[in-house]
Structure 1
Amino acid sequence: MVDGKDLVEAMAVILTRRPEIRDVVRQSLKNKGLKSENIFPVMDEKECLKFLTEHDYGLVILDWEFAPDKVQAVLIANRKEHRLESHLVFLIAAHDEDAIVSVAQEFYVNFVAVGEVTTDTIREQVKGLVKEFQNTGPMRKMLLAVDSCRKNGDHANALEMLEKLYAKQPENERIGIELAEAYIHEERWKLAEDVLRALMTAEEVAPRVKHLFARCRLKQGDYNTAIASLKGAQILSPYNVERLLEMGNLFLKLDRAEEAESTFDEILEFAPNSKPATFGKSASKLLMGEVNEALAILNGVANPRELSAIFNTAAILAIKQQRFDAGFALYQKALQLLSKKPKLVSRILYNMGIGFVKWGKNDKGLKCFEKAAEQDPTFQDAGHNIKILKAAPQAGSGVSLKETTDLSESASEGNEHEIPLMEISGFDGGEEEVELDDVLSNISKVG
């Protein structure tokens, strides 16, 4: 912990594209004793994330207008596994909205300034930030002790300390949330849920409590309660990107594509450049059979690897929902779009093979694995599955295949930032079975 006499060694990062904000914050920090060389104005969230990684304890000043989704990514990264008490944060926003303040509260942001922020306001907030940095309050002292144990790998003692704190202050929401998250991290879901249920009896329930409770119910397969709790949290704090993404992906899993699309649209309304939300919306379109609409959304946004991953995700979801024809139709379109990317084609064919085997069509699965191995001779999982199926080729026989690939092995090919916009006429969502031999014969050997 840094005390007052060591303030000159304190580090700070400022994430903003607004020069007037950057200059005032920087000067205010210097006036409070920080060295110029220890203040890092950045205009790239990756540099900000790097700062969080490289420095144990410092000051983080974030401008909401930089990009709400990227600012939240920084806030999420600011709560690492071992770090309960993170870098101190000052959040600035040009819009005076309660929803922004709610997000700040969820992430325990220390100081917030919204609306028409004056120079005097920034100076006062920076003054408070530095003062809090120098002086350790009772809550932070407790959490720093837990933090120290985690940093040293003593998770058992850290958990015991949280349990003792909670036993003494069961009404303390922050301690309860930290304990519940600790239980979840160790997959002790029942204990986490017990803590959260107690917190939910309060007159005002924090959105983070509802969010964590939803994760517990989701783990138990109680989708309806999980969705209701996520929606309840979102009403209280509507700009939480992480929660909206979880909710949208849950709707996709449950084959509720229209609700998924609506959820991803909520993110895009206040964070229009959010890639995960854009990709989620396109996956929703694919599951609804609106392939051209999905491609229009992705055009100029997704690189080849991302495109293949989106089609792959939608196809897997369709197959898990027993909509085999729709799933294989999506794979077929992905193969058309990515025909000149042999490693990506190989992974798509591999996943098609998995799907056919799940459908009881081992002969077609074998053809897909063979073509996958042809496209990428180094793909060992495809070779493994070929051997397994040749030993037990009859349909419906029990076979132990390698798990579905997530396409990450072919990421080296994903360095292009644009995809062609292809009009696919007559696509009806896969009412007819894919003609596999035609698909395979159209894949030329490349590379």
Structure 2
Amino acid sequence: MPKTQQAPAPSASPSALAGVRVLDLSRVLAGPWATQTLGDLGAEILKIEKPGVGDDTRSWGPPFLTDAHGGQSDAAYYTCANRNKASLTLDFTTPEGSEILRALIPHHDVLVENFKTGGLAKYGLDYDSVAKLNPKLVYCSITGFGQTGPYAPRAGYDYLVQAAGGLMSVTGQADGTPGAEPLKVGVAVADLFTGLYATIAILAALRHAEATGQGQHIDMALLDCQTAVLANQAANYLVSGQAPKRLGNAHPNIAPYQVFPSADGHIVLAVGNDGQWQQFCAAAGQPDLARDPRYQTNAQRVANRDSLIASLLPIMAGRTTSGWIVLLEQAGVPCGPINTIDHVFQDPQVIARQMQQDLTRPDGTPIPTVANPIKMSVTPPRARRAPPALGADSEAELKSLLGLSDAQIEGLRAKGII
């Protein structure tokens, strides 16, 4: 089993977003990823969930957590994006519930939601309505296709956006090779990138609001973000006019930069420049390759990729993965193993960087989580709260923020509003 890092006890170091309060009306991944990041940086996140049901991902298992009493709890999926949050169950589709939510808005600096375009207007919770309650509010809407354009009314899902946004067209084995077909990435990267871009936008809007007192509406779309992170592949098309194609594990602009079979598995060889190519040839004992005029520059190696790879395949198969890593690291040539996820968390570098943190709910339920990767010398992210049980903080939040009495809270619970 990998070594784990218990979340550190709260320290005296300040939090970058201390004092910022966020209403989180989002579900699944893109919105929760953004709000978890804000929470890690010190913001207080109040997650609004449907009574009795909660975030969709609470049921997206197996696997499920085992609670302190040995029973089944939330799905592991839910825990990946809901650290450092309080959970308030509230049915804001009812008039009384929407009034409670509207009463909470002046107490918050940010609202994040991922309902269909226009979906909150009927409850008086759209941006134009709530801006009247809190002009300084930063209101972030996350949808599949944005608030404008012909696709705005459509529901958007990561898988569909990876397809429509071009990512699947450049992911997978090349046409004409075994198993050739467009493939999605193994995690929901359109959601995750949108969550991170949303975080950046929220931080910029908060700075503006603090300076001017003026909030604003942030319109984040999965398709926009997926298009943006096509990065060099998009630039390749815009410059050449040619749509990039799938290359399997090869790189469109660099060679050799791909997976090779080794004597006992596979290895990633990542030769990023001409100097590294010469270092590779010397370490591998291949002076003829080093002198070959077809492979002197990266542009030549890309143009002659097929013959280059054909020459390298038997060479790379002549050593074990670990043997190549030892040899090439000494030569300064980037390379590495292809770890399964269990090996990732056993990797000494991952352990040294404390990328697993174990949290515990107040009821004793243990929850292993992946730590925030941001390292800051003065205001580091902190895991202050385990992902909350559904409605765990309803009573406390309604009392502290709205001053509701025990009797009022019990009345709301009896009506199914909380």
Greater share of helix residues, 1 or 2? 1
Q: TM-score under structure 2 normalisation?
A: 0.28
Q: TM-score under structure 1 normalisation?
A: 0.27
